[in-house]
Chain A
Amino acid sequence: MIWIPVIGLVLGVFIGLSFNLSVPLQYSSYLSIAVLAALDTVFGGIRASLEKHFDSSVFISGFFFNTLLAALLAFIGVQLGVDLYLAAVFAFGVRLFNNIATIRRLMVTRSRKQGEKTL
Chain B
Amino acid sequence: MKTKNKISLLVISAVLGCMLTIQFSSANRPKAESNAVADTMQLTVELAQQTERQQFLRSQIRALESQINALGTQKVDQNQLLLTLAEELDKVKRAAGVNEVRGNGVIITIEDNVNLIASGPVEMDLYRRSFGDFLYRLVNYLKGNEANAIVVNNHRIVSFSSIRSIDTNNLQVNTVMISPDKVIIKAVGNVEQMKLGMSLFPTYFEMMGKSFKFEAVEDGSLVIPPYDDPVKYEYAKPEGDKKI
Contacts and interface: CB of A to CB of B under 8 A. Distances in A.
Interface in B15-49: 15-23, 25-27, 29-30, 33-35
Interface stretch (B4-12, B94-102, B154-162): B4-12
Task: Give chain B's interface residue range (CB within 8 Å of chain A).
Answer: 20 to 34
**Best-buried of B11, B13, B25, B26 by chain A (most CB within 10 Å):** B13
Contact of B9 (A4, A21, A24, A31): A4
A9 B13 contact: yes
Interface residues of A, number: 39
A59 B12 contact: yes
Contact of A32 (B9, B11, B23, B29): B23
Given A8-B16, A11-B17, A23 B5 contact: no
Contact of B15 (A46, A54, A63): A63
A60 B18 contact: no
Nearest to B5: A56
Nearest to B15: A12
A82 interface: no
Interface stretch (A35-43, A87-95, A110-118): A35-43
**Best-buried of A1, A6, A25, A31 by chain B (most CB within 10 Å):** A25
Contacts of B26: 22-25, 28, 31
Given A31-B19, A35-B19, A8 B25 contact: no
Contacts of A5: 9-10, 13
A42 B27 contact: no
A49 B18 CA distance: 23
Contacts of A24: 26, 33
A16 B8 contact: no
Nearest to B17: A12
B1 interface: yes
Given A56-B4, A59-B8, A28 B23 contact: yes
A15 B12 contact: no
A49 B10 contact: no
B1 A54 contact: yes
Given A20-B25, A55-B5, 4 more contacts: A6-B13, A12-B19, A25-B33, A31-B26
